[in-house]
Structure 1
Amino acid sequence: MANSASGMAVHDNCKLRFLELKTKRSHRFIVFKIDEKIQQVMVEKLGQPNDTYDDFAASLPPDECRYAVFDFDFVTDENCQKSKIFFIAWSPDTSRVRSKMLYASSKDRFKRELDGIQLELQATDPSELSMDIIKGRAL
């Protein structure tokens, strides 16, 4: 079903892979890309369960927009093991204006398709994706 705001459809594979990340923890992260030719959000990259946050950050292109989800494991001050699923809207300053507008107008509907997201982060620069920021938002 196309997004009424931007005409964007979401490939079924996006929801399927997100469900695997959420329930089976078979992926550490997923990077999604909008294929502008067919007006559809697609899975671009799947992170392995043992991949690190640095692996995830390195998979985001420096000058193109992407959506991503990252399963962040951490230990609380009470020494409890926890996990939070982040939705990340990556929109670097160097990306095309049309692309930024397309990703911005499609984001909310796409995010609603992924049931189970706990935190959202928007970033335009790698410094806004630092591990300190992720930890600060998760705790």
Structure 2
Amino acid sequence: MSFQRANSFSGMGVADETKNNFLDLKRKKAHRYLIFRIDDKEKEVIVEKQGAPCESYDDFTAALPSDDCRFAVYDYDFVTEDNCQKSKIFFIAWSPSISRVRAKMLYATSKERFRHELDGVHYEIQATEPSEMDLQVIMDRAN
């Protein structure tokens, strides 16, 4: 069992493995993306899926459930107009409109606490439908 610090609002902890996976994405480029879910039994945020460095944005969006909430981070690589290689990490709070109300509330009350644990995120996106986190949205925000 991992060490957890409770969130005073939601009682939600963050698994050590979850934090370590994020650090691997940020520092080592070990993952293209991470998808997190809240484990109701353990009352903590855990990693549900890790995207390999070679995976695309389409692979990432396809891995999100169409009917349930998730948190995710995506490491977006791009080249600037000055021909510089850059990378920006996006935090995405995915809350489809057809999700259960209880899930939406749980993710909404846990978001700030969890987001605070992920030091190094550049941008945050709240999405209720795929168009709100389309690749063009990511590209526009990064530039």
Q: Given the two structures, how large is their TM-score scaled by the length of structure 2?
A: 0.95
Query: Stretches of 4+ moved more than 3 A in 1?
Result: none
Query: Are 2:122 and 1:121 aligned?
Result: no
Q: How many residues align?
A: 139
Structure 1 runs not aligned, ≥5 long: none
- 1:70-85, aligned counterparts within 5 Å? 70-85=74-89
Q: Work out which of the residue numbers 79, 89, 100 in structure 1 matches 2:93.
A: 89
Amino acid at match of 1:44: E
Give how far 1:78 is off.
1.6
- 1:1-139, aligned counterparts within 5 Å? 1-139=5-143
For residues 53 and 6 of structure 2, the distance between their equivalents in structure 1, rounded to whole angstroms, comes to 31
Give how far 1:37 is off.
2.0
Amino acid at match of 2:100: R
For residues 135 and 116 of structure 2, the distance between their equivalents in structure 1, rounded to whole angstroms, comes to 25
For residues 52 and 12 of structure 1, the distance between their equivalents in structure 2, rounded to whole angstroms, comes to 26
* SS of aligned partner of 1:42: strand
For residues 83 and 47 of structure 1, the distance between their equivalents in structure 2, rounded to whole angstroms, comes to 16
Amino acid at match of 2:136: D
For residues 43 and 103 of structure 2, the distance between their equivalents in structure 1, rounded to whole angstroms, comes to 12
RMSD of Structure 2 on Structure 1 (CA): 0.6
Amino acid at match of 1:127: S
For residues 126 and 107 of structure 2, the distance between their equivalents in structure 1, rounded to whole angstroms, comes to 11
For residues 124 and 19 of structure 1, the distance between their equivalents in structure 2, rounded to whole angstroms, comes to 27
What do the CA deviations read for 1:93-128 (whole angstroms, capped 9, x no partner)? 000111101101110110111111111011000111
Q: Given the two structures, how large is their TM-score scaled by the length of structure 1?
A: 0.98
What do the CA deviations read for 1:74-99 (whole angstroms, capped 9, x no partner)? 11122211000000000000001111
Task: State the identity as a percent.
Answer: 60
Structure 2 runs not aligned, ≥5 long: none
For residues 109 and 87 of structure 1, the distance between their equivalents in structure 2, rounded to whole angstroms, comes to 13
* SS of aligned partner of 2:71: strand
